[in-house]
Amino acid sequence: MNRIKHTLTMASCFAALLGAVGGAEAQEMSETAAEFIKPESWFSIGVGLQDGNREQLGTFDNERGSGVRLLLDADLKVRDDKTGIWKTAQIKNLGQDNRSVKLGYNHQGQWGVTLDYVSMPRVAPFTVYSSNSGLGTATHIINTTAAAGSGPEVEVKTNRDRTKLSLYKNVKDHLRFNFNFSNQIKSGTRVWGQRGYGDGGSYPEFLLEPNNHTIRDMDTSVNYMSDKLQLTLGYFGSWFSNEDNLVNVTRETGTATSPYISLPLDNEAHKLHMSGGYNFTDTTRGAFKVSYNRALQNERMHLSDITGLSISDTAPTSLEGRIDTTLVQVDVTSRPNPKLNVLAKLRYLNDEDRTPPWEVVTGSTTIRSNPISKTTYTGKVEATYRLPDRTRVTAGIKHEFQDREVPIGNDSDGDGFDNERVVPFRTELSETTYKLQLRRALTQIANGSLSYKHSERDGSNYTDGDRLTESSTLQITPYYISDRTRDKLRLAVDVRPIDVFGLQFSSEYVNDKHSKGDRPHGRDKARTQLYSIDADYAYSSDLLFTAWYSRQIDEIWLGTYYAFNGTNPAEKYSEVEDTSDSIGFGVRNQYSDSIKLGANLLMTVTEVKYNDVVEPTGVTQLPEIESETTKFNAFVEYVGLGPGTLRADYVYERWDTNDWTWQFSDGSPYSYLTDGTTIVADDVQESNFIGVRYTTEF
């Protein structure tokens, strides 16, 4: 005891002597701490010069040709440490078409507001020359006398401008209100067309679809949160409106007998939802969601207001379209003992199309609107058990049953839904999937996972409809409802033999075998293979390398009917194979305290092969398509010129393809017969970009 007292006394004396020094030290640490806690902001400005053509690779930024770019980006964050109020601004690509700005004011833990603006261009990766007039407006005029390729260049581009407002407010610790509203304007044109009528014959003509859309979403919810119970009650509303509802297509010469093409009409959807979670114990939790959504499309069809048009008495002037969707889902997870995890899910989803089955077209052939409803029941159980040797085994089963419904039957005179159906239908579908997975930490330096899934899908008899049963040789099994056996194998291995070097390998194999029964046509099988390897290596803490390679092969085998003009019946077998190989390299080097270097290379080669067999007539094969994308970028950063960082970037991009999508068989550009509209896509596109920017951090 005496010793302690003595110690205290001595220490107090020394401490008293240290008063001034200690204060200075404390102040210094305080400033250091202030640096630690100050959020980082930066502002960057620069200029870039681009040369070349990047129609394909500039699809989403509209930087397709040569020119100068303003490079302006910023990430600004200010926090008032006393109040916890954040003021933020994130600016990206302000000098370009794909710009975005996000502003935030957030009293952390209390309330916050965010305003977010994004501009997303999309430009057609080809050039259109057309003499048609009024393209992209509500009135198109087909130039029936224009020679191929004689028209002026036409811009084909859409732009989405989305503004989003988000608010939240916390009430004490347990309640939170969220409100989000977004307004998205999509404007511009996209490639469209029509089947010509009257003097135009029955073949395609070129049009541009006017896109003057407004999409509004409102998402609001109130959330209750406690340690045991979480509840959310919300409303989601979505409104689509289209400035145009019809396009009137006329011709410079001749008569268009059916000159109007409809456009998407205004629609809206309203959803009420409630979800929740409850922790029954520390190891058992249940979660649920219940939602009801009503989608409506009931705008007046303006064709009804145009005099002189033939509108059936039984056709609607407003579709009165309505689809009600109800979801009930319950999930339970539990860990009855430390080694066992169990997951169970039950799901009920009902899509009820309550749109009246209108008789839209009458006369020699009746055509009706054809609502489809379906109810899907899903159940899933999965268990994971932890074995002693750092291995986990997972086994599971999932069953899904779908009850599908369409209007059936015909009128007494033979007209009706069955007679109009051109694709077989199944009223019931059922699929069971079994899963087995092993995951193991093999050693301290390697880990692996192997999973296998097997599923069987079948269903009720096909409802062909009268239109299809006229010939059994036409019967097909649409791939998305056909009987199918699927085997899926996935392997992943992660190896890090030394801290500075790692390898990651993954492979996936999916094999679908479709059974057609006694029906002659449809998909036979499909297969996907993926092989991927990633590597990283740190030569030193200042020099890092990454590399990766991926190959994915997708194949589809399809057997279909072939009867050219109703004669010369034959069987047609097609194999379509998509292969993509991608390789990437990256290097980062902190060359010195003031200089940092880096480079990336990405190359992707996509091959599409077509192999058609037609018996007994033979066939001319489609040429295979090979497209190659190369992207290389390098940068150097220099610290020391003033308070910021000077950075120079170089980007090289190349697109090389023999894609014949827009070409005739002799390689000449595709053109439309009537109006001479011609579309040209450059096979080889190359561009270089050099940019210099200065970034200040504060």
Question: Radius of gyration over alpha carbons of the chain, in Å?
Answer: 32
Of 3-11, 137-145, 639-647, 687-695, the segment contacting another protein by CB under 8 A is 3-11
CA distance 576 to 533: 26
Write the binding mask 195 to 234 for another protein: x where contact by CB under 8 A, - elsewhere: x-----xxxx--x-----x-x-x---x-x-x-x--x-x-x
**Residue indicated by tokens 């509004």:** 216
Label residue 84 left, alpha or beta by phi (over 0 means left) and psi (-120 to 50 means alpha). Answer: left
Does residue 66 belong to the site contacting another protein (CB under 8 A)?
no
Shortest distance, position 643 Cβ to another protein, whole Å:
19
CA distance 118 to 570: 53
Write the binding mask 73 to 112 for another protein: x where contact by CB under 8 A, - elsewhere: ----x-xxxxxxxx-----x-----x-x-------xx---
Of 134-142, 369-377, 452-460, 634-642, the segment contacting another protein by CB under 8 A is 369-377
Shortest distance, position 636 Cβ to another protein, whole Å:
19
For another protein, the closer of residues 129 and 192 by Cβ is: 192
* Chain Cα centroid distance, residue 199: 41
Does residue 144 belong to the site contacting another protein (CB under 8 A)?
no
Please report, as residue ranges, which positions from 415 to 474 form the binding site for another protein (by CB under 8 A). 420, 422-423, 439, 441, 444, 447-449, 471, 474
Q: Is 418 helix (H, G, I), strand (E, B) or coil?
A: helix
Of 44-52, 132-140, 318-326, 455-463, the segment contacting another protein by CB under 8 A is 318-326
For another protein, the closer of residues 253 and 665 by Cβ is: 665
All residues at 6 or more sequence positions from 204 whose CB lies less than 8 Å from its CB, including other chains: 193, 194, 195, 196, 672, 673
Q: Is cis: bond before 616, omega within 30 of 0?
A: yes
Contact with another protein (CB under 8 A): which of 3, 68, 388, 593? Answer: 3
Asked if 132 and 151 touch (Cβ cutoff 8 Å), the reply is yes
Q: Using alpha carbons, list the distances in angstroms from residue 114 to 56, 90, 223, 314.
A: 34, 11, 19, 50
For another protein, the closer of residues 662 and 694 by Cβ is: 662
Q: Using alpha carbons, list the distances in angstroms from residue 36 to 33, 226, 443, 530, 576.
A: 5, 32, 38, 45, 57
Does residue 327 belong to the site contacting another protein (CB under 8 A)?
yes
Shortest distance, position 676 Cβ to another protein, whole Å:
8
Shortest distance, position 467 Cβ to another protein, whole Å:
9
Please report, as residue ranges, which positions from 277 to 306 form the binding site for another protein (by CB under 8 A). 277, 285, 287, 289, 291, 293, 295, 297, 301, 303-304
Would you tell me how many other CB atoms lie within 10 Å of the CB of residue 8? 10
Shortest distance, position 49 Cβ to another protein, whole Å:
20
Contact with another protein (CB under 8 A): which of 602, 634, 636, 648? Answer: 602
Contact with another protein (CB under 8 A): which of 145, 255, 258, 281? Answer: 258
484, 476, 380: which is closest to 429 by C-alpha?
Answer: 484
For another protein, the closer of residues 294 and 454 by Cβ is: 294
Please report, as residue ranges, which positions from 544 to 583 form the binding site for another protein (by CB under 8 A). 550-552, 556, 558, 560-566, 572, 574, 576, 578, 580, 582
**Residue 132, strand partner residues:** none
DSSP 635-651: EEEEE-STTSEEEEEEE
Does residue 527 belong to the site contacting another protein (CB under 8 A)?
no
Q: Is 99 helix (H, G, I), strand (E, B) or coil?
A: coil
